[in-house]
Amino acid sequence: MWLYEKKLQYPVRVSQCNPRLAKFLIEQYGGADGELAAALRYLNQRYSIPDKVVGLLTDIGTEEFAHLEMIATMVYKLTKDATPEQLKEAGLAPHYANHDKALFYHNAAGNPWTAEYIQAKGDPIADLYEDIAAEEKARATYQWIINLSDDPDLNDGLKFLREREIIHSQRFREAVEILKEEQGKKKFF
């Protein structure tokens, strides 16, 4: 089970009215390397992975939901006061036609989220290597969004999220070392 704390993991500030950024940010919401895909991937893989690393997948999968919430807040703030005309200018007319201002799990190109984005192979090394790759891809996606955005307050939150991807990658790499079981054995090959 989960306990919910009614606050964001890191404060989300948006200083400029620029709905166009919402179109890019939605990549991290419902994209292949987005936070939803990450959370569902890890929380599902953990059932069939050695006990030593189950807790890590639970913790990181949970944190991904906290990130999802931050992205949702950013997108909502950027779009909630936009007129249909402004949404059209921002390239969001197709989204508006289907969803009004509701958030939806699709990527920046409008493709809906699909479970094909994630994998559970049942092989612990294969699954952890996928997780490491997912974190590096998410880090890269944050970099490209930061490059597209000139809102310093929004970028502050995005830089926090980018750093968390680096830490998650580090922990998955350590999980691989734990499963290799050579850690700390002072064995020299």
Partner 1 sequence: MYSLVKYYHPYISPFDPCPPMKVKSYRTPPNLYIGFQPPSLPQFSPREALAHGTLWPIFYSPYPGKGKEEMTRE
Residues near partner 1 (CB under 8 A) are 10, 139-140, 142-143, 146-150, 155, 159-164, 166-167, 169-170, 173-174, 177, 183
Amino acid letter for position 165 = E
Amino acid letter for position 146 = I
CA quadruple 6, 12, 16, 20: dihedral sign: negative
| Nearest of 55, 83, 98, 70 to residue 9 by alpha carbon | 70
- Cβ(21)–Cβ(142) below 8 Å: no
Tokens of 160: 């926090």
Among residues 27, 63, 64, 130, the one annotated as catalytic is: 64
Decide whether 47 or 144 has the Cβ nearer to partner 1: 144
Q: How far is the CB of 35 from partner 1 (least distance, A)?
A: 15
Active site residue 35: yes
Decide whether 26 or 175 has the Cβ nearer to partner 1: 175
Decide whether 104 or 160 has the Cβ nearer to partner 1: 160
Active site residue 135: yes
Catalytic residues: 35, 64, 67, 135, 165, 168
